[in-house]
Amino acid sequence: MSYVNIDTANAAQASQEMLKQIHAAFGATPNMFKAVSNSPAALKSMWGSFGALGAGSLSARLGEQIAVAVANRNRCEYCLAAHTALGKSAGASADDMASAQVGKSSDSKTQAALTFALKIVEERASVAQADVEAVRKAGFNDGEIVEIVAHVALNLFTNYVNVAFDVPVDFPKVALKAV
pLDDT tens readout for residues 16-40: 999 999 999 999 999 999 999 999 9
Compute the distance between CA of residue 26 and CA of residue 24 in angstroms, rounded to an integer.
6
Residues in CB range of 50: below 8 A, 6 or more apart: 154
DSSP string computed for 115-142: HHHHHHHHTTT---HHHHHHHHHTT--H
Residues in CB range of 20: below 8 A, 6 or more apart: none
pLDDT at 12: 85
pLDDT tens profile 44-90: 999 999 999 999 999 999 999 999 999 999 999 999 999 999 999 99
pLDDT at 136: 98
Write down all domains in the chain, each with its CATH number in brackets.
Answer: 12-54 (no CATH), 60-164 (1.20.1290.10)
Of 3-12, 26-35, 73-82, 99-108, which gets the smallest average pLDDT?
A: 3-12
Q: Rounded to the nearest 10 degrees, what angle do helices 142-164 and 60-73 cross at?
A: 50
Compute the distance between CA of residue 107 and CA of residue 128 in angstroms, rounded to an integer.
23
Compute the distance between CA of residue 69 and CA of residue 159 in angstroms, rounded to an integer.
11
Closest Cα partner for 97 from 89, 88, 106?
88
pLDDT at 10: 81
> What's the one-letter identity of residue 52?
A
CA angle, corner 168, sides to 164 and 173, nearest 5? 110
**pTM, 2 dp:** 0.96
Average pLDDT over residues 95-114: 98
pLDDT at 11: 87
Compute the distance between CA of residue 176 and CA of residue 169 in angstroms, rounded to an integer.
13
